[in-house]
């Protein structure tokens, strides 16, 4: 190969261009020119708009992981806040339900106290209010315990009423509490008066355990007794004042082979749910009749005949 045909130019790597200082000066001047031109004439504004439009999808795609992360954090925080709010609302709802039940209980107690006061206005004898503490432990009797005793002046045999009528009788008195035998107890009996007919009778507690009824015994088969008749105290026993509601006739059984009719009655008092009661003094203790003092008759003194 002839030597004249060889390329004697240096490769591009060894080519010498403008110096670095010259390049810095040129590009600095160009940047300064573009800055001044953009500030004065807004020459770069279309370019910025085009670049912003072209780069928006890239910016959106790059920002999505951050947006998802922030959204997930807000979702978790909002879920936790919602759970706390739900727990707080549940607690408030429970407290409001408890207050509502207490309010209903207080309204029921107020209604019973008002009824007891209204019944007290019809009773002329002295009495005092008491609270039923609990039922007696004996399963074969129907008795309750009240919070008044000897220190409060409670006497055995005192009649006990609730807001509806006669509840029972005090049968045992302790220093601080008393035992009240309900009128539905099998050992209890109370003289009653049929308000419709004026016929007197005696109502006994039903012998069946936990029956909660009374039985009007020893009434003839042709006695005028109807379902719904109101029985009140007759007052002939010296214990209960007359006119107090006792029971209503619930069922009348007439049998041809029997000379007596079987009459079942439902007490008007709340024998299974009384809370407040009134204890009266027995009318026999109040009916103290003063015996009249004997009159002193002065006889005229006869003077003897003088001799």
Residue 267's pLDDT is 93
Residue 175's pLDDT is 92
Residue 41's pLDDT is 78
- What's the per-residue H, E or C state across the chain? CCHHHCCCCCCHHHCCCCCHHHHHHHHHHHHHHHHHHHHHHCCCHHHHHHHHHHHHHHHHHHHHHHHHHHHHHHHHHHHHHHHHHHHHHHHHHHHHHHHHHHHHHHHHHHHHHHHHHHHHHHCCCCEEEEEEEEECCCCCCCEEEECCCHHHCCCCCCEEECCCCEEEEEEEECCCCEEEEECCCCCCEEEEEECCCCCEEEEEECCCCCCCCEEEEEEECCCCCCCCCEEEECCCCCCCCCCCEEEEEEEEECCCCCCEEEEEEEECCCCCCCCEEEEECCHHHHCCCCCCCCCCCCCCCCCCCCC
pTM: 0.58
Q: How far apart, in whole angstroms, are the C-alpha atoms of residue 185 and residue 166?
A: 13
Residue 264's pLDDT is 92
The fold of 127-286 is Thrombin, subunit H (2.40.10)
Residues 76, 77, 79: CA angle, nearest 5 degrees: 65
Phi-psi region of 198 (alpha: psi -120 to 50; beta: other; left: phi over 0): left
Q: How far apart, in whole angstroms, are the C-alpha atoms of residue 205 and residue 241?
A: 19
Q: For the chain, which residues make up each domain, given as ranges?
A: 46-122, 127-286
Handedness of CA 113, 117, 118, 119 (dihedral sign): positive
Q: Say if residues 183 and 165 touch (Cβ distance below 8 Å).
A: no
CA-nearest of 37, 246, 276 to 162 is 276
CB environment 184-216: b (16+ within 10 A), e (fewer): bbbebbbbbbbeeeebebbbbbbeeeeeebbbb
Q: Say if residues 159 and 280 touch (Cβ distance below 8 Å).
A: yes
Residue 79's pLDDT is 82
Q: How far apart, in whole angstroms, are the C-alpha atoms of residue 111 and residue 103?
A: 12
Cα dist from 95 to 83, 85, 90, whole Å: 18, 15, 9
pLDDT tens for the chain, 307 residues long, are 555 565 556 555 555 667 788 888 988 988 888 888 878 777 778 877 888 888 888 888 888 888 888 877 788 888 888 888 888 888 888 887 777 666 666 666 666 666 666 666 666 667 888 889 998 888 788 899 999 999 998 999 999 998 888 999 999 999 999 999 999 998 899 999 999 999 999 999 876 655 788 999 889 888 899 999 999 999 888 888 888 899 999 999 988 888 889 999 999 988 888 888 889 887 765 554 434 545 544 545 555 544 4
Instruction: Return the CA Rg of the chain.
Output: 53
Residue 306's pLDDT is 45
Q: Say if residues 116 and 280 touch (Cβ distance below 8 Å).
A: no
Residue 307's pLDDT is 41
């Amino acid at each position: 190969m002839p030597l004249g045909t060889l390329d004697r130019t240096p490769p591009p790597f060894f080519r010498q261009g403008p110096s670095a200082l010259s390049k810095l000066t040129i590009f600095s001047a160009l940047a300064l020119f573009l800055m001044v031109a953009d500030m004065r004439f807004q020459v770069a504004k279309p370019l910025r708009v085009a670049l912003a439009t072209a780069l928006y999808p890239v910016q959106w795609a790059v920002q999505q992981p951050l947006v998802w992360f922030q959204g997930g954090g807000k979702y978790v925080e909002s879920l936790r806040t919602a759970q706390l709010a739900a727990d707080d609302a549940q607690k408030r709802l429970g407290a409001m339900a408890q207050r509502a039940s207490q309010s209903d209980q207080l309204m029921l107690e107020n209604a019973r106290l008002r009824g007891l006061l209204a019944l007290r206005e019809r009773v002329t004898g002295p009495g005092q209010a008491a609270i039923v503490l609990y039922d007696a432990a004996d399963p074969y009797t129907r008795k309750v315990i009240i919070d008044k005793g000897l220190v409060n002046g409670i006497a055995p045999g005192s009649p006990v009423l609730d807001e509806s009528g006669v509840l029972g009788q005090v049968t045992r008195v302790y220093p601080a509490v008393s035992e009240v035998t309900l009128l539905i107890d099998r050992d209890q009996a109370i003289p009653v008066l049929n308000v419709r007919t004026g016929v007197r009778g005696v109502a006994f507690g039903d012998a069946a355990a936990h029956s909660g009824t009374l039985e009007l015994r020893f009434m003839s088969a042709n006695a005028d007794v109807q379902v719904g008749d109101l029985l009140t105290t007759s007052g002939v026993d010296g214990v209960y004042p007359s006119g107090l509601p006792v029971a209503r006739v619930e069922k009348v059984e007439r049998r041809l082979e029997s000379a007596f009719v079987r009459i079942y009655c439902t007490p008007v008092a709340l024998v299974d749910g009384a809370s407040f009661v009134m204890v009266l003094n027995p009318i026999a203790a109040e009916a103290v009749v003063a015996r009249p003092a004997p009159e002193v008759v002065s006889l005229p003194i006869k003077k003897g005949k003088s001799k």
